[in-house]
Chain A
């Protein structure tokens, strides 16, 4: 691994991997929905969309095809801590990819007509998310679990903010955060490090650093008791979601919690770009046995993600037809209380470790995924953590897991969400309140 910081503050990571004649570039910015204020929620994600719409040296009508002609793929996403852009293409396209990212950093156009046209695209994205009951419930849960910390805002934003934001708001946000000293550039693949660094300096060396200004330092105040939210909407299916305040990636109990989640719902790994596309090994997991094998639920999924600040550990349950939501909640909480009181067994710990280590192997199967992990961890903590993940997982003890379960899975740390389906034809039409809770991407469903 080659690490270098340019004079303008741009951190560059280059990892050679000669497994396929491909190169992957990721450019990461420390800006996400946690950097947004009321009135401007969703701005980071909208800015991301605008950064695919032409630059000083890439005219609007030349965007289409600029990477596709190299057989390449490009995309990006925005989430709570980060905004990122990626291209993967044949290695011959490396210079082109770096050119695109340098233009994106410094020279995007923000044509007023394009800003307006994209407003309705993003509102369509929001409405598509609202069609999904799980997304609606997730958004309600986050807004209830966080009172003060900006993690409470959905990344796609609140509808009225999307309707009222201006081109100047967007451009101001772009100019503030898209500076080299707020970015990490990652290059992985069939490249030569010294050649790649020369290209990086040529494309990025002349971009001036900037001042991103003061960031909010709001800490979520301690929760004083259990919280509950209910979404009552027309629908066919009930959902229950439990959210507990979780450790940040840098906290001592993050890895014990990761093992705990593996015991409860099967290991997911730590790659939000790749891991969630493969279902976890969960047939023998505690909550799967308690809820799915008993016929109370048709699915259960735990979600603990590495984040810069303490986020939420969520357990999402789809309730089977004819089962009362209260019964499902009760069964889930009984399991969580049991693990909080008695911890996990040594065989469970060994299984969790094996699952997590296997996921590390599986989620590094492409240069795109390797590049994602380096940049992701550098943005929320440090890229060096990538190389220590296995060690951190193998160091987890059953005592640490028990302590984490006892400390974290308390009713006073819990927000419970119910999606209560009303018979079709009896409720209110969905009015367009909100959002999608996970990472949002500009490319849509392909």
Chain B
């Protein structure tokens, strides 16, 4: 029997006449389809002075179109048991929806209407503004949000699109009006910025025909691509403390500017991050800070190599009394990995894990859809899932060691502590 793993995902990809990218993958496990629409209208293209515009758009886009009011949209979704999730990250505005296969055509039509013809009713804009202000105020009371947001601001600068708060501030959100949302939508939401991935119990050709029928009449010229300025790695160690004395636990965000997704060393960095702060219960960091010292319930590292060198971020939640010791332990583990590199056993284990986990990560429709969006965004190629094992097998111990030496330098780390901590970690 040929398994899916041996064949690979082999999705079907088509560029529509209007420039939209349509990708379909058949997966008959359940009689359902997951739609994952991604538009290149993330927070990095927020207009000057308009921090939070992309996020605001994501909250109001689906609240009325030229021909459907907010209640009609609600009925069309809820009546089919489908929930539409709109979200925004630095690069993409995404709309994700899982529906029963029998409802695919009407849901696609609804999705197209929402993306192409939002009406931004004045009342909805005001209601969602109150929601957003509440969300921002909740974030401001949450050390687990404050620490990483501040880390990004310090690593990239508060004016850099990577350094700005993704939801904006209460002030900037108060200034975003209906006209600003309409303008942002007209400029940034265009067919050439759309990639639509469809995964589920439907033949790819049929899914693509249905998507063409839904989006085919949409025409607008492509927008010039956004160019982001890269930021050099920090030259010195920086520490910021955000006192939040009403909290029980402190959150630590500790990070560096890392590499481009297209960097030839990416696979080595991927494995380095796995060994440092992912493998099993948080890699070497988990071994030290959770398992041996019992200081944290969670500690891990995350690598976000991107279209500019993105962050490598270590996160931990600890008792305020253990902040200093945790930071010292992170320093120690980084220095050790940079100095000695990984062990041969770690190299083997990490490869086995990352390669072996692919079928599991690609088991569900949503898992496949998210993977295919990443493949499309970075231009990795439709057979990327088949090439990953070979690429990882080729990574050497020296390459991982070099990645660690290049980036894991405690004397150039940026550290933010948010929580009931007033100490002087350095």
Contacts and interface: CB of A to CB of B under 8 A. Distances in A.
B144 interface: yes
B287 interface: yes
B254 to A, nearest CB: 16
A20 interface: yes
A90 to B, nearest CB: 6
Contacts of B294: 116-121
B279 interface: yes
A295 B125 CA distance: 11
B249 A127 contact: yes
Interface in A351-396: 351, 354-359, 361-362, 364-367
Contact of B4 (A20, A89, A357, A358): A20
Interface string A128-147: 10111100000000000000
Interface stretch (B213-221, B296-304, B334-342): B296-304
A105 to B, nearest CB: 21
Contacts of A88: 360
B9 to A, nearest CB: 12
Contacts of A112: none
B105 interface: no
Interface residues of A, number: 82
Contact of A278 (B85, B126, B130, B419): B85
Nearest to A431: B248
A20 B363 contact: yes
A444 B294 CA distance: 13
B248 to A, nearest CB: 4
A121 B317 CA distance: 10
B142 A131 contact: yes
A117 B292 contact: yes
Contact of A443 (B100, B134, B281): B281
Contacts of A131: 142-144, 247-249, 317, 419
B130 A298 contact: yes
A306 interface: no
Nearest to B31: A361
A357 B131 contact: no
B126 A355 contact: no
Interface string B119-158: 0000000110011011101101111100000000000000
B4 A295 contact: no
A281 to B, nearest CB: 4
Given A236-B138, A284-B78, A443-B281, A365 B353 contact: no
A358 B82 CA distance: 8
A127 B353 CA distance: 32
A121 B290 CA distance: 7
Given A71-B359, A278-B85, A124 B318 contact: yes
B75 interface: yes
A118 B356 CA distance: 30
Given A366-B363, A367-B363, A445-B298, A68 B353 contact: yes
A281 B85 CA distance: 10
B17 to A, nearest CB: 33
Contacts of A444: 281-282, 290, 296-300
B98 interface: yes
A283 B349 contact: no
A427 B245 CA distance: 10
A120 B82 CA distance: 42
A409 B127 CA distance: 29
A78 B317 CA distance: 21
B306 interface: no
Interface in A1-48: 19-22
B159 to A, nearest CB: 25
Contact of B130 (A127, A281, A321, A429): A321
A233 B317 CA distance: 21
A64 B78 contact: no
Interface in B349-381: 349, 352-360, 363-366
A320 B5 contact: no
Contacts of A236: 137-138, 140-141
A72 B300 CA distance: 18
A182 interface: no
Contacts of B141: 133, 235-237, 421
A23 B356 CA distance: 13
Given A233-B246, A358-B82, A22 B363 contact: yes
A70 B3 CA distance: 17
A68 B81 contact: no
A357 B364 contact: no
A69 B282 CA distance: 15
Contacts of B365: 365
The 10 closest A-B CB pairs, nearest first, are A71-B356, A358-B81, A283-B74, A444-B298, A234-B246, A117-B294, A125-B297, A355-B81, A127-B249, A130-B248
Interface of A: 19-22, 63-65, 68-73, 88-90, 116-125, 127-128, 130-133, 233-237, 266-267, 278-285, 292-295, 298-299, 318-322, 351, 354-359, 361-362, 364-367, 421, 424-425, 427, 429-430, 432, 443-446
Given A68-B353, A69-B352, A365-B32, 18 more contacts: A20-B3, A64-B279, A64-B280, A68-B280, A73-B360, A121-B296, A131-B317, A132-B142, A236-B137, A278-B98, A281-B80, A283-B77, A283-B78, A284-B75, A318-B138, A354-B79, A429-B246, A444-B298
9 contacts: A121-B296, A128-B298, A131-B248, A283-B70, A284-B79, A321-B133, A354-B81, A361-B30, A446-B278
Interface of B: 3-5, 28-32, 70-71, 73-75, 77-83, 85, 98-100, 126-127, 130-131, 133-135, 137-138, 140-144, 245-249, 278-282, 287, 290-300, 315, 317-319, 349, 352-360, 363-366, 419-420
